[in-house]
Amino acid sequence: MRVRGLSKIRTGGLRFAGFGSSMVVLAIGSLVLIPAMIRADGLAAWGDIALGQAVGTVAAVVVTLGWGVSGPVAIARGTSQERWDEYADSLRGRAVVVIPVLGAGAALSAALAHTQAGLAALGCVSAGSIGCRAAWYFIGAGRPSSLMVLETVPRVLGIAAGIVAMAAGAGAAAGLGGQLAGVLVAVLLSTVWIRRSVGRGRRWRTDRRIGEILAEQRHGVFSSVLSSGYASLPVVIIGALGLPYLPAYAVVDKLQKQIFVASTPFMSVVQGWLPTGGSDRVRDRLGRVVLMTSVYSCVLTVVTIVAAPTLIEWLGAGTVEVGPVAIVLLGLIAGAAIADATLSRVVLVAVGQFATMTRSTAVGSVVGLLMVGLLGVTVGLEGALAGVLLGLAIRIAWAGFAIGRQRRRDERNPAGSPSMANGT
């Protein structure tokens, strides 16, 4: 039993390291791209690019159609044919929405931009194209090496090509174009590999209608859009209100997003582990997942607070100053964001509480965004960050209460299946 336990720890550690290396490499590449774009076209242009990318992040979640939430669970539990069916359905659904969604996002970004409408629109498209990627498949299949080779490497090469072009005198559009090209190549390579990995003789598509596919993904779409919107809309709100600290908030916001991306390997490992082995295993693992999530988020908070001043100075090319209160709030947001994502989009999904996930995300997001606007105007940068943190705290508390209630229900009815629970 001890050897088996050590083997599981080793496997989990290797998967964490594998997914983590992909996320860290991408985060570093994205962070290096920021000062290159600032040097190419200036801080004001970067503010418009960040605004467009914020809108594009929401668009990407719409394009993903909820497979980032429900997909890893389906892949982790599925046979080879079921895995291909899930991925094929995702391709069909996303093909329907990608052009209109990205077109609308680009138009909105251009309308909201202060000086560089074209860069804002391109920033939206480059960020929105990420919704086409297949990372959720590799997470559910527990294949970090495939994620690295088929997704991370092409995207990093695209970013590197953009940085080289800007160093040679090109504008920030070259950096955004490199990002977009890397994503498109990654999608193509991933699709070819997934098709081959399930074996020959598999049917190419299911008989389900597009309307049926979209309807089935409604909870994942709604929750993901709210979560992404909550992460992206504060910078849009600050820009729309014409608040003078938009460039500073854009840098802080970008850093928080990259920290979140770098921290998601933890969530990826849990997504591929928690749903497997049947309902009894899921029930037994809930407490451990909540404890690990709490510890992980606390460590991430401390690390962010320590590292943030240096990173902000570098990202802002020495032009951005952020006070200590904002640094502490940034650290708390970093820890709360990964805790919220793991508890809501992994644990609640694994126990079938899609409705609870959607409600908690909706309420926390609405309250938080309202407070971002109110406190952002009356207090400033620190007030806007405090509003973001408040919304995340509401979502975490709601998810924690639902998970605790699920565990008590399972203790009273051990024969029940948490994976079939219908939380409200």
Beta carbons of 2 and 128 less than 8 angstroms apart: no
- CA 267 to chain CA mean position, Å: 10
In this structure, is residue 212 part of a structural domain?
yes
> Torsion angle, CA of 215/217/218/220, rounded to 10 degrees?
180
Within 10-100, strands assigned E span none
Residue 418 lies in a domain: no
The tokens of 50 are what? Answer: 């960040």
Say whether both 178 and 207 belong to one domain.
yes
How far is it, in rounded angstroms, from Cα 184 to Cα 371? Answer: 37
Q: What is the DSSP letter of 313?
A: H
Whole-number Cα distances in Å, 121 to 32, 55, 77, 387: 21, 9, 39, 27
Please tell me the predicted confidence (pLDDT) of residue 263. 82
Same domain for 268 and 316? yes
- Which pLDDT value is given to residue 422? 40
User: CB-based contacts of 241: which residues, under 8 Å, 6+ apart?
Assistant: 373, 376, 377
Q: Is 79 left (phi over 0), alpha (psi -120 to 50) or beta?
A: beta
- Domain of residue 246 covers 217-413
pLDDT at site 345: 80
Could you tell me if 243 and 261 lie in one domain?
yes
Record the tokens describing residue 37, joined without a space. 């774009």
The amino acid occupying position 153 is V
What is each CA distance from 377 to 231, 286, 372, in whole angstroms?
Answer: 19, 41, 8
277 and 157 fall within a common domain: no
Domain final residue, candidates 152, 184, 216: 216
Q: Are residues 255 and 139 in the same domain?
A: no
Q: Is-contact 388 372, C-beta < 8 A?
A: yes
Whether the Cβ atoms of residue 423 and residue 351 lie closer than 8 Å to each other = yes
Q: Which residue has the tokens 């629970």?
A: 421
Of 424, 67, 96, 402, the closest CA to residue 220 belongs to 67
Instruction: Quote the pTM value.
Output: 0.70
Nearest by Cα to 403 from 290, 294, 291: 290
In a domain, 2, yes or no: no
Q: Give Cα 405 to chain centroid, integer Å.
A: 27
In this structure, the number of other CB atoms found within 10 A of the CB of residue 117 comes to: 17
Q: What is the pLDDT of residue 15?
A: 64
Q: Read off the pLDDT of residues 82-135 as tens digits, 9 standing for 90 and up.
A: 888 889 888 888 988 999 999 999 999 999 888 889 999 999 999 999 999 898
Q: What is the tens place of the pLDDT at every residue in 53-76? A: 888 988 888 898 888 877 887 887
In a domain, 270, yes or no: yes
CB atoms within 10 A of CB 379: 14
Helix orientation angle between 2-41 and 172-197, rounded to the nearest 10 degrees: 150
CA distances 307 to 43, 55, 395, Å, are 22, 27, 26
Spatial CA neighbour of 336 closest among 379, 293, 288: 293
Same domain for 222 and 346, yes or no, is: yes
At 2 the pLDDT is 47
Q: What is the pLDDT of residue 201?
A: 54
Task: State pLDDT tens for residues 364-377.
Answer: 999 999 999 999 99
What is the pLDDT at residue 27?
74
Residues 236, 140 share a domain: no
Select from 188, 216, 244 the last residue of a domain. 216
Q: Is residue 359 part of a domain?
A: yes
Task: Compute the radius of gyration of the chain from its Cα atoms.
Answer: 21
Q: What pLDDT sits at residue 240? A: 83
What is the C-alpha to C-alpha distance for residues 360 and 226, in angstroms, rounded to an integer?
A: 10
- Interatomic CA distance for residues 371 and 373, integer angstroms: 5
155 and 227 assigned to the same domain: no
424 residues of the chain, pLDDT tens digit each: 444 444 555 555 566 666 767 777 887 888 788 888 888 888 888 888 988 988 898 888 889 888 887 788 788 777 888 888 889 888 888 988 999 999 999 999 999 888 889 999 999 999 999 999 898 898 888 788 888 899 999 999 999 999 999 999 888 899 999 999 999 999 999 999 998 887 655 565 666 777 777 777 776 777 777 777 788 788 888 888 888 888 888 888 888 888 887 788 788 777 767 766 666 677 777 888 889 999 999 999 999 999 999 888 887 767 777 889 999 999 999 999 999 989 988 888 777 777 788 888 889 999 999 999 999 999 999 999 999 999 999 999 999 888 888 777 766 666 555 544 444 3
Residue 128 lies in a domain: yes
Domain shared by 264 and 212, yes or no? no
Q: Which of 187, 216, 245 represents a domain boundary (last residue)?
A: 216
The span from the CA of 64 to the CA of 112, in Å, is 24
Domain count, the chain: 2
Sequence-separated (6 or more) residues with CB below 8 Å from residue 258:
27, 30, 31
Examine the domain organization and report whether 254 and 321 are in the same domain.
Answer: yes
At residue 328, the pLDDT reads: 95
Assigned token pair, 356: 């609870």
| CA 174 from centroid of its chain's CA atoms | 24
Across all residues in the chain, what is the average pLDDT?
83
Q: Do both 175 and 289 map to the same domain?
A: no
Q: Indicate if 123 and 54 belong to the same structural domain.
A: yes
Asked whether residue 171 is domain-assigned, the answer is yes
Closest CA relative to residue 224, chosen from 59, 114, 102: 59
> What is the per-residue pLDDT for 424?
39
